[in-house]
Amino acid sequence: MKLLVAKSAGFCFGVKRAMDMAREAARKHPERLHTLGPLIHNPQAVEYLENLGVKVKERIEDVPGGTVIFRSHGVSLQDLTKARKRRLRIIDATCPMVKRAQRFAKFLHRHGYALLIVGDADHPEVEAIRSYVDERVQVVRSVESARRLGPWEKLGVIAQTTQSSGIFTEIVASVLEKSKEIRVFNTICQATTVRQREAIDIAKKVDCMVVVGGYNSGNTQRLASICREIQPCTLHIETARELDPKKLANKGRIGLTAGASTPHWIIEEVEEEVRSLNQKR
């Protein structure tokens, strides 16, 4: 069995930065330290942080004072205002690429563009972006939904930073005829594009693809879905324990990649497990 591991698997710049900031905070002032929602979409990484004293609160109202860390996906204007009013100490771990998308959303809104966000309406990143431009915002994640929208005079388009480039392109193409002007900021981050491209390359070469990452992680779900289109034998798992030996039996080549929020220790465990399953045969 040959195992092809993606070089781009695991933590992206923004996630690594958020984890470092949280660890540093735990070291400096571990008392009353909370993140607003999970810092990143990986239960194991969140558990690791909890052991360092970083607790999760879902609502800003439930943070009992002290320090609040804003998650990598960003924070809504409403929560930001509340945190300031309550004079919480703020550590902003919002990914700089997400901040950039927020800036473009505000810019487009300010300049009179109707805003279309290519992304998942219920993802915290998209919810946060929307909160800064409350009116005339539409969120779509499929060409079918996009086709039902418009027409517009001036349309601004951005993407959730971890969207699939393919879907983003298709959606822009589908609305192109329905607006006199379209201004597109491609806010899909480079790390996402590179990760998706490498996953596609590997998926084409293997008999089964293993994608590691939180079941609640949007970018991992999309990574698995992109791989599945090419290689129907694609397994999305969160940890090594969920590897099903039967599914990997008799596979000459196996591919391995992981979402942006998957810690390296989990990827390494999965890698070892795949290799050891193969030796047991």
Does residue 143 bind a copy of itself (CB under 8 A)?
no
**Segment contacting a copy of itself (CB under 8 A): 13-21, 23-31, 172-180, 198-206?**
172-180
Query: Closest distance between a copy of itself and the C-beta of residue 147, in Å?
Result: 13
Cα distances from 208 to residues 45, 109, 245, 249, in angstroms, run: 26, 44, 12, 10
Alpha helices in 65-164 (DSSP H): 77-85, 96-110, 124-131, 143-147
From 185, 198, 253, 269, residue interacting with a copy of itself (rule: CB under 8 A): 185
CA gap 150, 239 in Å, rounded: 43
Paired sense of beta strands 137-140 and 152-159, if any: unpaired
Does residue 11 bind a copy of itself (CB under 8 A)?
no
Query: Closest distance between a copy of itself and the C-beta of residue 170, in Å?
Result: 7
**Segment contacting a copy of itself (CB under 8 A): 20-28, 88-96, 169-177, 199-207?**
169-177
| Comparison of 70 and 168: residue with beta carbon closer to a copy of itself | 168
Query: Closest distance between a copy of itself and the C-beta of residue 195, in Å?
Result: 14
Which residues are known catalytic residues? 125
Residue 232: asked if its preceding bond is cis (omega within 30°), the reply is no
CA gap 141, 110 in Å, rounded: 24
Query: Which positions touch a copy of itself (CB under 8 A)?
Result: 165, 168-170, 172-173, 176-177, 179-186, 193
